[in-house]
Amino acid sequence: MDTTKALRFLGIGALWLVTVLLGVGFVLGGLSKFSPPWPDMFSRWGYPVFFTYVVGVVEAVAGLLLLVPKTAGPAAATLCVVMLGATATHLVHGESNWSFTLILVVIFATIATVRYRLRSPRQVVGAEN
């Protein structure tokens, strides 16, 4: 195996390691939204309580979809948007953990971009055969 192939192999392995860890984390994090203190926190931030459950379902389902190669890119893009909302919420309310959610935005945007680029040309909309 030449150096380029070895680096590509290592890069894809690292991508999957991060993706799997985040996938499992977001499944568990999404499920945790159904119990305290999350409903109270969402209320304190000015969101209706049901929104806690919507976010929980989105996080859990997207976390599962991160584990499927064909859906990992769209799932990462979805979680990127969710984490943008979390970042904005933390900033508006003067909370210090906005930087962590912003780091997750960058990681999910990277995963979505790399997964999109790893698709074969025939799978990309508008690509010529």
Residue ranges of domains in the chain:
3-123
pLDDT tens across 40-92, in order? 999 999 999 999 999 999 999 999 999 998 999 999 999 999 999 999 999 99
Give pTM, 2 decimals. Answer: 0.85
Task: Note the helical H segments in 33-97.
Answer: 38-44, 49-65, 69-92
- Predicted local confidence at residue 122, as pLDDT: 56
C-alpha dihedral (109, 111, 114, 116), degrees to nearest 10: -80
Closest CA to 92 of 84, 104, 103: 84
Q: What is the DSSP string of 12-36?
A: HHHHHHHHHHHHHHHHHHHHHTTST
